[in-house]
Copies of this chain bind each other. A is one copy, B any other.
Amino acid sequence: MANTEFGYVRNFEQWDPLPPSNWIVVRIDGRGFTKLCKKYDFQKPNDRRALDLMNAAAAEVLSQFVDVVLAYGQSDEYSFIFHESTALFDRRASKLATSVATAFTAEYCMRWTEAFPDSPLERPFPTFDGRCVAYPKRKVLRDYLSWRQADCHINNLYNTTFWSMVLKGGLSTTEAEQALKGTVSSDKNEILFSRYGINYNNEPLIYRKGTVVYRSYDAELGTNGEESRGKPADLTSKTQLKKEKKRKRKAKIALEHVDIIGETFWETHPYVLGSSTGKDSGE
């Protein structure tokens, strides 16, 4: 039963590295979460416990994958950004996507009881599919994140209005859907305010902005406000690389519900998409 005769089957495996010098986004999405929301009776339009669970799982992913510089999540999706210089798994797409997706899933399932103590998890357990996307430039990556956050806003405004109509206004879901057809943002803001006394801008940030998770080095800032470690020295030696890895492991993992479309977040945290080598990456 020698193995050599069959070994040729290995040649069918495709080598799937993502191109160098691209930011890698691993986005995961809940599979069949519409059904899951109903089954476990998630609150509408947003279930805080469910979002907290998503965020906790994302934080755990960051602590396991030191090359993730930032993650952004909303609803049942999360995007993990690997630095453009990452060499993790030789940048192989399938390894990256499955490793992140399974780490997230494991944490989500195992922590479920904490989030929903009265609703024990039943089979089929929640799972997440995932995919890798390569973004060649910082600006394009920023636009990707803006796209997801704009999507969060659009959906949340719609859902908040829709469920106000249903839960407070007594409309059927069909009636609410009909009523909202063709409305623009200002219409929905107006409906919320005039009919239900809701000022959308006072809604919790976690619902309106989603959640940003990042490896924070803010605490390391020197007393004079200078950033002490955000721009690390050139990493040429192995010792330096080890130090850098240790630094990442030690970094605090911050969760915030802030705007990432504008410049403020990025200007106050320049190291997040900063060069990991201290060298100009060519942009």
How many copies of this chain are found per oligomer?
4
Q: Which of B60, B123, B129, B185 contacts A95 (CB 8 A)?
A: B129
Asked if A269 is at the interface of the complex by the 8 Å CB criterion, the answer is: no
Taking a contact as CB atoms under 8 Å apart, the answer to whether B12 and A94 are in contact is: no
Are A129 and B282 in contact, CB atoms less than 8 angstroms apart? no
Query: Which one of A39-47, A144-152, A173-181, A214-222 is at the interface?
Result: A144-152
Nearest CB of chain B from residue A132's CB, rounded to whole Å: 7
Among A232-283, those with CB < 8 Å from B are 261, 280-283
A54 CB to nearest B CB, Å: 14
Interface size on A, residues (CB 8 A): 72
Chain B residue numbers with a CB within 8 Å of A53 are none
8 A Cβ contacts from A116-152 to B = 121, 123-140, 143-144, 146-147, 150-151
Task: Specify the chain B residue showing the minimal Cβ separation from A25.
Answer: B12
Which A residues are within 8 Å of any B CB, using their own CB?
A: 1-3, 5-16, 19-22, 28, 31, 60, 64, 89, 93-95, 97-99, 101-107, 109-110, 121, 123-140, 143-144, 146-147, 150-151, 153-154, 185, 261, 280-283
